[in-house]
Amino acid sequence: MRASYIQEPIQWASEFRFFVPVQVRFSDTDMYGHLNNTYNFSYFEFARIEYFKHIGLMNDWLNPEGHTIPVVADLQCDYVKQVFFDEKLRIHVKSASVGTSSVDIHYHATNEKGDTLFTGRGTIVQISKKTGKGFPWSEEEKSLFLAN
């Protein structure tokens, strides 16, 4: 785990309190015989949305009458070990830091033995559907991120 967003690997890994299980499907592999590098980001998206549901934020973002929507500002993935068909992964998710209308989400993918397979991070911004600009978190939302 040499990514720039990880200062202390052991501490970093210990701070995740949420994960989703993901099983590598056959259609996620490519002709090199392993997980194609684009699917890691699908797994991140799936895990992130489950995390947002867990916190209680997703309802508003799915509501056609809602005022805000989450937007991905950036995403990155560091590939540590090759991943193969049928492996059972855990995609761990946490909020590493919270800004006015953004949140920095970190990801840690492990196998059943606990080995790190890949790590990642990315900023999500809450924007107003009307203005397209950043829409500030409430204090309650901030505390939800920081507690999970």
Residue ranges that bind its own copies, judged by CB under 8 A: 3, 25-27, 29-34, 36-39, 41-42, 45-46, 49, 53, 62, 69, 71-79, 85-86
The nearer residue to its own copies, 74 or 112, going by C-beta atoms, is 74
Output the smallest distance, CB 26 to its own copies, in A: 5
Alpha helices in 9-83 (DSSP H): 9-14, 39-55, 58-62
Output the smallest distance, CB 81 to its own copies, in A: 11
> Are the CB atoms for 97 and 82 separated by under 8 Å?
no
Q: Which residue in this structure is represented by tokens 């840690």?
A: 108
The nearer residue to its own copies, 95 or 119, going by C-beta atoms, is 119
Output the smallest distance, CB 41 to its own copies, in A: 4
The nearer residue to its own copies, 55 or 72, going by C-beta atoms, is 72
Q: Which residue in this structure is represented by tokens 């797994």?
A: 43
Output the smallest distance, CB 88 to its own copies, in A: 12
Alpha carbon separation from 106 to 28, 84, 97, 115, 121 (Å, rounded): 22, 22, 9, 17, 4
The beta strand positions in the chain, using DSSP E, are 18-23, 68-79, 88-98, 102-110, 116-128
The nearer residue to its own copies, 38 or 100, going by C-beta atoms, is 38
